[in-house]
Structures are given as structure tokens and as C-alpha cells.
Amino acid sequence: MGKLDGRIAIVTGAGQGIGRAIAEKLAAEGATVVVTDLNGATAKEVAEGIGGDALAVPTDVTSRDSVGAMVAEVRERFGRIDVLVNNAGWDKAGRFVDSDPADWERAIGINLVGVLNTCKAVLPVMAEQGAGAVVNLGSDAGRVGSSGEAVYSAAKGGVIAFTKTIARELARAQVRANCVCPGPTDTALFADFAPDPKLREALVRAIPFRRLGQPADVANAVAFLASDEASFITGQTVSVSGGLTMS
């Protein structure tokens, strides 16, 4: 018996990295997973790898129309939505004073507005059901700041605050919302952000556990918060950072 048996779970940005690990973990715990990603080919690959009733739906979280179509397809196919994991994200490293405003719009659009779009479409469904769990992926950059990630940090800080607010607003409907904040995690996105081995080594030295996080570390926390084991937990922010940040 998995702790998510019978649940219908949507995971955004699930074509690779942390999102893929989350989709695979939720499926291993018994959930039927809807794998969404801007890249339809990678979404399909992940869904096929999971097997069963897993469904791949190409989705652009920055587009309300795209999100609305995805949610409509999930409701038509499965009749309900029990778990929403907002993982889709994007970042471009660089000092804020040298940044391009076009990149601000992309970072805010994917990391923050994307979460607003999916929650706007899914929360009424969960409220009507009288049950549901939302897990938003924030970032420790949104808790303590991160050099070279000013706008990303701002967007993720917004996700953290938004999560607490929807947790308050939806509590009476028995809909929970929590935020998981990964620290430095060994993914392709991290490799793009920190291509210099010396920067990687410096980060590892700064982490009390002396290693980078793995996607599975984050996925395990998400699966717990999505499950009934966390039935009395809402509005919380949990860092998965090997002790790099403590609060």
C-alpha cells in the first residue's frame, strides 16, 4: 500500500530533474500522475516510464489557456484532482544590475505567475471536493537571497508568501498548501547555473552534510506533504538543503 493510493496528482515541469523525480516518487506511492511540461516529448517519456494510467500533457504554465485546457483534460479523464505540485521553474544567473528586463519577465512568468495560473484553475476543484493538497516548490533563494539570482529569489519569495495565504483561505475546505524549498540540488539546471567546478566545491563545503541535494531528497519531502501523513500540516515552508539554511 502506498501513501498516495488512488490519488490523482498533477506535477508541472516534470520532464526532467526534480520534477521528474517527484512524478516518479508520487507514482511509486500509488498516485496516478499527470506529467506536465513545456516539452511534450520529455513529458511523454516520463509518463511512459511510469506506466499505468500516467498521462503526459504538454503545458505552458505561463498561459492561462494552456493551464485551463490541461486541467479540463485531467478532470474529464479522472474526474478529480487530489494533488497539485508546482515545480516548473527557470533561472538565469547574473548580477541584477547587469540583467535584461526580458529575463525578469520570463523568471516571474514561469516561477510565480505559473503558480498563480495553476492554483487558480485547480483550487476551486479541490475546494468543491472538500479535500486536496498543494505543494509549491519555492527555493532557499526565496528565503535568504542568493547572489546572481535576484529576480528568481523575488519570484520564489512570492511563491512562499502566496502558499501561506492560500493555506489560510482554503483551510475550511480542508485543502492544504505547503512549500518545499530545495537548496543546491544536483540537476542539469544547477550545472548550467554553476558550471565552474570550484563554485560547486565551495557550495558543497558550505553545506553541513557536505554534499549537494539529489532530486529524490526533494521528491521524498513533496510526497510526504502531499499525503495524509501530513494531514495537520498547512502553510509551512520546509527547506531540503542539507542544513545550508536553518530556521
User: What are the domain boundaries of the chain?
Assistant: 8-185+215-233
For residue 99 the three cell numbers come to 540583467
Q: What is the pLDDT of residue 7?
A: 98
Fold classification of 8-185+215-233 (topology level): Rossmann fold (3.40.50)
pLDDT at residue 189 tops 80: no
What is the pLDDT averaged over residues 151-167? 98
Given the residues 20, 62, 152, 181, select the one marked as catalytic: 152
Q: Which residue has the higher pLDDT, 197 or 135?
A: 135
Q: How much is the mean pLDDT over the chain?
A: 95
Based on the residue annotation, tell me whether 152 is a catalytic residue of this protein.
yes
What distance in Å separates the CA atoms of residue 157 and residue 92, rounded to the nearest whole number?
16
Q: Which of 89-93, 112-116, 166-170, 217-221 has the lowest mean pLDDT?
A: 89-93
pTM of the model: 0.95
Alpha helices in the chain, H assignment, sequence order: 17-28, 40-50, 64-78, 101-108, 114-129, 141-144, 150-170, 188-193, 197-206, 215-226
